[in-house]
Chains A and B, each alone.
Chain A
Amino acid sequence: MNTPTRSVALVGVGVVSAAGRGVAATLAGFRAGTRSPAPVSLFPCAISCPVFEVPGVPTEPGINARTFAMAMIAVKESLAEANLTPETLASRRVGVCLGTTVACQLNALEFYATLRATNEAPLDAVDSYLKGNLADAIGRRLSVTGPCVTVANACSSSADAIGVALSWLRLGLCDIAIAGGADELNRIPLTGFHSLSVMSPEPCRPFDRDRQGLNLGEGAGVIVLETDASAAARGFRSSLRLSGYGAAGDAYHMTAPRPDGAGLESAIRAAMMDAGIATADVAFVSAHGTATRDNDKTEATTLARVFGPSLRFLSTKGFTGHALGAAGGMAAVFTALGLREGWLPANAGFQTLDPEIGIAPLSAVTPIAGAHGLATALAFGGSNAALVISRADARVAPGRPPA
């Protein structure tokens, strides 16, 4: 075995979305190709575009509590898979880095409406918000004391959070890092994305010629990372590794991706360089693929330019909707699962090749035999992020040497 020295072990994954609660249910849903978007039922809203809700989330009172609850579902599953008990966590330096968009904002509509009308309002929502910074709240719940911060990078938040966690492990700040993200369906982004005219009135169709926009979703995607020394000390062997992260800014527009995809390409190439692999080594790409006209055109043409026309790629947004700050974490989990299970789901919703894109995503459940998968994320503000996840038995060149 020749693993990159700068990569870290990926020892557990956890996920919850409309595609399923937990890895097993998600894989079953992916294989069956089932999806069930519907108008939002969680809160009153005049917008009838379909969304992907997660059923049966046990939620405590408080602002952003649904995000926390979904994050905990994914965190618990990932820790169980990693065989990390509370006792083991207590004996290690454990960091928490999670991304979100909704849960870092004081989106307290009821509180604000009352305050605006009367100049008086109870501060319960504010107190809940101040206790609810996602990474801090998860860290407190787990009683871990390592580095802890929330990434608020819009739709690339949790992909970047995984990159931040990787940097902590490489710097020696912690032995184990819980990374990814969570976001809940909320009236504010629902109305906001509707105002941008990027929401589809029908189930979304990523990369399809006739795509009409995105469906919002919700959920959480979390991976557990560990240094080789820590994993070896407890006798844990992982079949996967996080081997690379790259990010780049468009410096172009607040909401639209740079049309030439230069920022995304830089992020992808940086992640591959970090992992010590070449384009030919990438078996597939779990793409951001929101199903908006701009995102999918920019992303797919960039992927075609970097990897060539025979690339295997897909978006899972047709199963989950766009879960905003959770999207990158979910894509990382799905990439890990693709490598581990040896197959990928179809790109739900895709029917017709878009001539402006020129390449087609996977249209059926597809066996995968490669060693490296890549996940991408694009965001408001022009952020682009890419992650390389690898099989632990992959043979790779050394990654970028330390400066």
Chain B
Amino acid sequence: MNIRGLGVVFSHGRGPAALRETLAAGWRAPREWVTRHRPSPLPAYALRPDELAEQGCLKTLRRADRFSRMAALAAWDAVQDAGPAYTASRDRTAVVIATAFGPHVTTFRFLNDILDFGDTGVSPTSFSHSVHNAAAGYVGKLLELHGPTVTLTQFAFPFHYALLLAQAWIESGLCDAALVGAVDELGDVMGYICGHRLRIPADGRIRPLDFAAEPTAVPGEGAAFFLLDRAPTSSPYGALESVSFASPPTSGSAPDLCIVEADGLNGDEGPYRVARQLGAPLAGYAPLYGSLLSGSGLSLACAAVSLRAGAIFGADPPPAGPGAPQRILSLRSDCSGRTAWLSLARSAAATQ
């Protein structure tokens, strides 16, 4: 599947250009994140509020919560980014969204209503926005997409399953294109949970290539959306070759880079050592956007931006030659040591 367009919203900006600038600039310290239920701030890769302002979408998104807004803006950007390369009918474009926690901030806002006003005093708007698929509803409405619309949730590999589903639907003819995204948000309750359950480093730095048994994590949030199709023209972002579990993809050329998605959320990061066996340079980009269970979306965005830029950023060791990367793998491991792989390759006729 070709990646026709890309949209990202993360702590350092919005859009593929901002992501490329962040990849080139390297690590920057996270923000001080003040949360209601902690006496002191936490370091976190939280979005700036101004990242979620968009004049072109204001009417449709006027009631949208932060979660839906992140998703809708990233999806909007992916379609804008594709421009005329997006040739599929909007009636035959699917929306598949992956999330670990859904719009939990709105869920707790709704619980506030029950606690403050009783069972009969709650807000219908908060309720309708507290369901996981509210974001998909906004994406569909904003972009007038009428294809199948599904939200998947899981704590291990939700984005991988979203990509697999999009692939199946496109190959079976249920749709011609799919907007596939991953989104998760930070909030006060999540801050409390993170403060108690994560090893958050004092310097605010995630170390994905340490393969630590007790790794450190820095909470993050954001959204990454991809407009995918099977049209017979190449894309500068490359094509998603495969989604595989347990073992790395066996077909294709040797990778030029393997992205290690270790971000400190899943405990022992020893299983990521398998990436070393590929012999390719390794890079871990979670330090740029933070730890989030749906972070595979942002990782794939980094791979796509790298292919488009014809450059590898922040690899260890640095690539041997100046050539543009042709194939990039991305590896994620869950708390049980299970692994999942994404393989992205440059399209044959792709140009920068």
> What is A's interface to B at a CB cutoff of 8 Å?
6, 45-47, 101, 104-107, 109, 112-113, 115-116, 119, 121, 123, 126, 130, 133, 135-136, 147-154, 160, 163-164, 167-168, 170-171, 173, 187-197, 245-255, 262-263, 266-267, 270, 274, 379-383, 385, 400-403
Contacts and interface: CB of A to CB of B under 8 A. Distances in A.
24 contacts: A46-B118, A112-B111, A112-B189, A115-B192, A119-B36, A123-B193, A133-B155, A136-B154, A149-B161, A150-B153, A164-B150, A164-B152, A167-B169, A187-B119, A188-B107, A191-B127, A194-B122, A250-B140, A251-B141, A254-B138, A266-B91, A380-B134, A385-B148, A402-B173
B149 A196 contact: no
Contacts of A154: 131-133
Contacts of A251: 140-141, 143-146
A382 B150 contact: no
B171 A402 contact: yes
B108 A112 contact: yes
Contacts, number: 229
Contacts of A190: 119
Contacts of A250: 140, 146
A403 B165 contact: no
B138 to A, nearest CB: 8
A106 B107 contact: yes
Contacts of B104: 105-106
Contact of A263 (B63, B101, B146, B152): B146
Interface in B131-189: 131-134, 136-138, 140-141, 143-158, 161, 164-165, 167-174, 189
Nearest to A103: B153
A164 B161 CA distance: 10
A196 B189 contact: no
Contacts of B145: 249, 251
A385 B37 CA distance: 41
A249 B95 CA distance: 9
A403 B150 contact: no
Contact of A152 (B113, B151, B196, B197): B151
A188 B150 contact: no
Given A119-B37, A187-B119, A191-B122, A135 B154 contact: yes
A193 B138 CA distance: 20
Q: Interface size class for chain B? A: 35 or more
Interface of B: 36-39, 63, 91, 95, 99, 101-102, 104, 107-108, 110-115, 118-120, 122-124, 127-134, 136-138, 140-141, 143-158, 161, 164-165, 167-174, 189, 192-193, 196-197, 230, 245
B133 A152 contact: yes
A247 B150 CA distance: 9
Given A104-B132, A381-B149, 15 more contacts: A47-B120, A116-B115, A123-B196, A123-B197, A149-B152, A149-B158, A153-B132, A164-B152, A171-B171, A188-B127, A193-B127, A274-B172, A379-B133, A380-B134, A383-B133
Contacts of A381: 131, 133-134, 136-137, 140, 149
A195 B123 contact: yes
A168 to B, nearest CB: 7
Nearest to A148: B154
B128 A196 contact: yes
Nearest to A381: B137
A244 B78 CA distance: 30
A255 B169 contact: no
Task: Please name the 9 residue pairs, one residue from A and one from B, whose CB atoms are nearest each other, closest first.
Answer: A381-B137, A192-B127, A152-B132, A247-B148, A167-B168, A249-B149, A46-B119, A195-B124, A249-B140
B122 A192 contact: yes
